[in-house]
Structures are given as structure tokens and as C-alpha cells.
Amino acid sequence: MSRAHLHVHLESAIRWSTLAELAARNGVSGPSPPSAGFAGLPAFVEHNQLVRDCLRTPADFTRIAREFCADEAADGTGYVEVSFTAAGHGERLGDLDMPLLAVLDGLAQGAEEHGIQCRVLLDHSRRRSVERAWRTLELARRYADRGVIGIGLAGDEAFPATPFAAVCDAARDTGLLLVHHAGEAAEPASIREVLDVGHAERIGHGIRILDDPDLVAEVRERRIPLEVCPSSNVALGFAPSLTEHPIGRLVEAGLLVTVNTDIPAIVGTTLAAEYAAVRWAIDDDQLTRNGWAAIRKPSAPTPSRSGPASSPRPAGSP
């Protein structure tokens, strides 16, 4: 059965060879592959900024999206929801729509070429302004008919979600999917906040939920999926090692656990490799079933045992 991949950032999935070519062509200093993990989140943010500086033209964005589809399909993924910081790129380049339009073109081309289904989540850094969050929402609304299915808060969880409450209310009322990062660096209260204020339908990461038994019970009862990213957690210092990752305890607690890559190029992983790394906690078949079960209904595609998923309907469709 093909796999569903629900938590992966496009900017952190770019091939290193492509990044080097784009940096040279655009006259910037691109980043080097990290030899180990990062000394905290600020070091990762700095690295990520170097990656984004390499992306300047529509052709750059189209290329990375098209190659992303090829790499995901080669790894056995049939359906992927890829996160992209569209408004941030648009503001940086002076054209709000261009980066997203170019990415959507690349995803459409890649999906056609490789038989994979792609949908887009637009993320917004908690460190950035509420005004940019509104622009992110507007982009999601504008391009919902081209596969943009939702928005979410990402970045440093020390910054609260509450200032974005009105944006989340409007997104929910529009029918968009809301998926927020929480409970990775911050305490379980950050998960509670994105559930209550952010109307989260899935939780990005969520590994610290175990510190609050009452919250574990609620999330388990509501069947809210967790998007767990083991290698990323280790690389960023949020878990000591893959064998000591809390995924085993999350599974034992009866939570709906999915496994994802988050930043695959940066940590040198694939979805297949992540599945293999956590077999001590949960087997591939169960993870595959969990991945498909975590996709929003009724827009979820049907998993295929012989190939990629069939096309899902856009979020909010009847």
C-alpha cells in the first residue's frame, strides 16, 4: 500500500545539488549540509534562511516542487500534504502570488509525471506578524481550487498562537484545514492552545503531550492525529535519539500516531527510512493505516495497494 505523508516542508526537502545550482545562478551563498544536528532552533532558523535566499524566480520554485514529487513518488508515497511558506517568499520577492503559483505549477507537473497526489498547506511562523497571517489565509482561499487545503502556525513555539485567533476563526469558517505545530519544544499547554484557539484538526509534532495525562485522554478520545517526525526531533534536540524517542509511549497511550519527515533533506531521511527507524515501536502496516486515517474527511483519497491514491476533493467541497 502506498503511504500518506502529512508533515514535510518544501523548503527543507530541496535536493542539495539543486540548491547548489540555484545559489550559483542567483549569486548567493547557499547553505552546506549540516554534519550533525543543530545547536537549538535558532541555528536551524538561520540555516533555513540561507535555503530560502536561494529561491528567487518562478522557475526556481517550479523546479523544487516538481523534483519534490519525483522524490516522494520514488520513496513510495502516494499522497502528500506539503507545507510551504508562501506569504513569506512573496513578501521577500515583492510578488505575493508568484512563489505559490510557481510551486502549484511544479506540483501539478510532478503529479502528472509521477502519479502522486499533492496538496498544499500554507504555514506561517509564529514569530511573524498577524498581518502576514491574514495574507497567508487570503492565498489559501484564492488557490483552494488548485490544491491549497489549509493553513497552520509553525516556527518557534515560545510565541503564542492566541494573537492569530481571528485568522484561525476565519480559516475554520472558510472550511480550510487547520494544522499547527505544537508540543515539540513547548509544553502541553501549547497543544491545548492550538486546539482551543487554533481549531487544530491535527497536531504537528505534539510529542510533549505525554506530560499532561488529561490532554492525552482528550486527544485520544477525539482521535486527533499527531504528526510525529522522529529524525527531525533528534536533529533539533527535542529527543535524545531515535531509540529513546517518545513515539513508543505515544503509541502505548493509544494516540493516533503518524510518522513524517518534516525536514528530510536537512536531516538526510526519507519517509521509508522513518518508518524503518521506529519499527521497534510500531510496524509499517499500522503506520500506513494511521497515515491514511489521519487525512481529513471527506476530502481524503482512497489508498491504493498497487499505486498512488486517487484524487481527493478540495477541502470544503460537498
**What DSSP letter does each residue of 74-86 carry, written as one string?**
HTTEEEEEEEE-H
Q: Classify the phi-psi angles of 212: left when phi > 0, otherwise alpha if psi is within -120 to 50, otherwise beta.
A: beta
Residue 157, C-beta contacts closer than 8 angstroms, at least 6 positions apart: 126, 181, 182, 183, 184, 185, 186, 190
184 is catalytic: yes
Q: Which one is catalytic: 81, 184, 193, 227? A: 184
Helix (H) or strand (E) holding 303: none
Helix (H) or strand (E) holding 5: strand 3-9
Query: At CA 12, angle to CA 66 and CA 149, rounded to 5?
Result: 65
CA distances from 71 to 74, 75, 257, 271, 300 (A): 5, 6, 23, 10, 22
Query: At CA 74, angle to CA 115 and CA 255, rounded to 5?
Result: 90
- How far is Cα 318 from Cα 299, in angstroms, rounded to an integer? 9
**Residues forming the active site:** 184
